[in-house]
Structure 1
C-alpha cells in the first residue's frame, strides 16, 4: 500500500503524536509511507496530476519514535504523484492554522475531496470532515447521548440559556486543547459577560449543560469504523482526570490519564453513534465522554495513542493501519 499522511507542516511534527505512531505502524508493516504538509501540494496544469513535495517515512529496526521522526525531517523532499496513492490520511488540524495561516486551514479537506474524487481512499471522509471539525457535529447525533446545548453568537441568548439550565460550560464552536473553555456556575455568574466576550472572539459559541463527573474527569475513547478500537483484546480508551483546581481534563492542560473500564453506558453510546459514523465515513474518531453523554467528537487528527500505549502496553496504530489496508486494498 502506498499512503501519505497530510499534516500541518512536516517540520513541526512531534514524535509523540498519534500520527507518528500511525506512520511507524505503516512503515513497519512494509507499506510505502510519506509525510506531506498542507503547503506542499500542487496541481499540474500540463498533466492535471496532483503532486506533492513529500518526505519518506522509513523505519529501521532500532528506531524509537524520536529517531523515526528525526529521519523523516532530515530527508530531502521528493516529488510524488498523489493520484497514485492508495490512501491519504488527513491528520492536519485546521484550527491550528486558523489564525497564523488562514489560507492553510481549509486545504486539507479541499485537497482530500479532490483526491477522493480521483479514486484515492481518503480518511476521514473529507466530504463530512468539514462539518465534523466543528463541535456542531455532535448536534447531529441522538439527544440521548449528548448534553442539552445552544450554539449562538448572541450574549443575550447565552444569558437566557444559563438562566434556564444553570450549571454550564461555554467554549468556542471551533476550538481545541481547552482554549477559552469556561465553567459557568449558573444564574448570577459575575464573570459571564467577560467569559462570553472571550469565547465570541473565536466565532460562534457553544454552551453545554454541565455534566457532573465529580473527580473522575472525562473519558477519551477511540472508535474505528464505528466500534471501539482495540488491540490484543484491550480497548483504546482511558480516563482523563483534571489536576489541581482546573476543571479541564485535557492532557494539554495538565490532566492525567488513567485506565478506563468499558461499561454499559459507553457501549450504549457507541451503539447509538455507530450507524451515523459509518454513513459519514468517519473512519477514526475520538469521543470524549462524561457519564452517559458525549461532550465532544474529535474527528480531525484525534490524539492520545501515547496514553493508550503507556497504560496498556499496546500499539493500537497497527489495528488502524490493518483496517486501512482492508479499506484501500479490498481483496479482488
Structure 2
C-alpha cells in the first residue's frame, strides 16, 4: 500500500504525536509511506495531475520516533503523482491554520475530495470532514448523548443561555487545544462580557451546559470505524485530568492523562454514535466524554496515542493501519 500522511507542514511535525506513530506502524507493516504538507501540492499544467513534493518515511530497526522524524525532515523532497497513492490520511490541523495561515485551512478536504474522485482512499471522508471540523457536528448526533448548547454571535443570547442553564462552558465554534475556553458559574459572572468578547473574536461561539463531573476532566476515547479502538484487549482510552486551578483538561494546556476503563455508560454513548460515524466515513476519530455526554468530537487530527502507549505499554496504531489496508483492499 502506498500511503501519504497529509500534514500541516512536514518541518514542524512533532515526533511524539499520533501521526508519527501511525507512520511508524505503516512502515513496520511494509507499506510505502510519504509525508506531504499543505503547501506541497501542485496541479499539473495541462494534464491536471495532482503532484506533491513528498518526503519518504523509512523506519529502521533501532529507530526511535525522534530519529524517524529527523530523517524524514532531512530527506530531499521527491515529486510524486498523488493519484498513484492507495490511501491519503488527512492529518493537517486546519483549526491552527485558520488562525495562522487562512489560505491553508480548507485545503485538506479540497485536495482529499479531488483524490477521492480519482480513486484514492481518503480518510477521514473529505466532505464529511468539512462539517466535522466544526463543533456543530456534535449537534447532528442524538440529543441524549450531548449537552444542551447554543451557537451564536450574539453576546446577549449567551447571557440568556447562561441565565437559563447555569454552569456553562463558552468556547469558539472552530477551536482547539483549549484556546479561549471559559467556565462560567452563572449569569452573575462579572467577567462574562470579557469572556464572550474573547470567544467571539474567533467567530461563532458555542455555549455548552457544564456536565456534572467535568471538574474531574474528561475521557478521550478513540474510535475506529465507529467502534472503540483496541489492540490485544486494551481499549484506546484514557482520562484527561486538569491540573492546578485550570479547569481545562487538554494535554496541550497542562492536563495529565491517567488510565481509565470504558464502563457501560460510555459504551452506550459510543453505540449511539456508531451508525452515523460509519455512514459519514469517519474512519478514525477521538471523542471526549463526561459521564453520559459527548462534549467534543475530534475528527480531523485526533491525538493522544502517546498517552495510550505510555499508560498501557501497547501500540494500537497497527490496528488502525490494518483497518486502512482492508479498506483499500475492498475498494472497487
Same fold (TM over 0.5): yes
CA drift of 1:187 comes to 1.9
Q: State the partner residue of 1:203.
A: 203
Q: Deviations over 1:245-297 (max 9, x none)?
A: 11000111111100011101111001000000000000000000001100000
CA drift of 1:330 comes to 2.6
- What is the distance in 2 between the residues matched to 1:18 and 1:290? 23
Aligned length: 332
Q: State the partner residue of 1:13.
A: 13
Q: State the partner residue of 1:122.
A: 122
Cα RMSD, aligned residues only: 1.0
Which SS does the other structure have where 2:127 is aligned?
Answer: helix
CA drift of 1:89 comes to 0.1
- What is the distance in 2 between the residues matched to 1:20 and 1:212? 35
Give the ranges of 4+ consecutive aligned residues of structure 1 lying more than 2 Å apart after TM superposition. none
- What is the distance in 1 between the residues matched to 2:201 and 2:330? 46
Note if contact 1:16-1:65 (Cα within 8 Å) is conserved in structure 2: yes
Is the counterpart of residue 276 in structure 1 residue 276 in structure 2?
yes
Which SS does the other structure have where 2:99 is aligned?
Answer: coil
Q: State the partner residue of 2:286.
A: 286
- What is the distance in 2 between the residues matched to 1:288 and 1:75? 37
CA drift of 1:99 comes to 2.2
Q: State the partner residue of 2:302.
A: 302
The 5 A counterparts of 1:166-205 are: 166-205=166-205
Note if contact 1:86-1:329 (Cα within 8 Å) is conserved in structure 2: no
The 5 A counterparts of 1:243-282 are: 243-282=243-282
Q: State the partner residue of 1:134.
A: 134
Q: State the partner residue of 2:71.
A: 71
- What is the distance in 2 between the residues matched to 1:297 and 1:251? 16
- What is the distance in 1 between the residues matched to 2:330 and 2:274? 22
Q: State the partner residue of 1:99.
A: 99
Note if contact 2:52-2:82 (Cα within 8 Å) is conserved in structure 1: yes
CA drift of 1:214 comes to 5.8
Note if contact 1:38-1:92 (Cα within 8 Å) is conserved in structure 2: yes
CA drift of 1:173 comes to 0.2
Which SS does the other structure have where 1:99 is aligned?
Answer: helix
- What is the distance in 1 between the residues matched to 2:26 and 2:299? 20
Q: State the partner residue of 1:53.
A: 53
Note if contact 1:93-1:300 (Cα within 8 Å) is conserved in structure 2: yes
* TM-score, length of structure 2 as denominator length: 0.99
Q: State the partner residue of 1:24.
A: 24
CA drift of 1:46 comes to 2.2
- What is the distance in 1 between the residues matched to 2:99 and 2:248? 23
- 331 and 99 in structure 1: CA distance in 2 versus 1, 3 angstrom threshold: closer
Is the counterpart of residue 152 in structure 1 residue 155 in structure 2?
no
CA drift of 1:49 comes to 1.0
CA drift of 1:101 comes to 1.1
Which SS does the other structure have where 1:270 is aligned?
Answer: helix
- What is the distance in 2 between the residues matched to 1:145 and 1:99? 30
Note if contact 1:22-1:321 (Cα within 8 Å) is conserved in structure 2: yes
Q: Deviations over 1:106-162 (max 9, x none)?
A: 011100010001110000000100000000000000000000000000001001101
- What is the distance in 1 between the residues matched to 2:181 and 2:236? 26
CA drift of 1:215 comes to 5.0
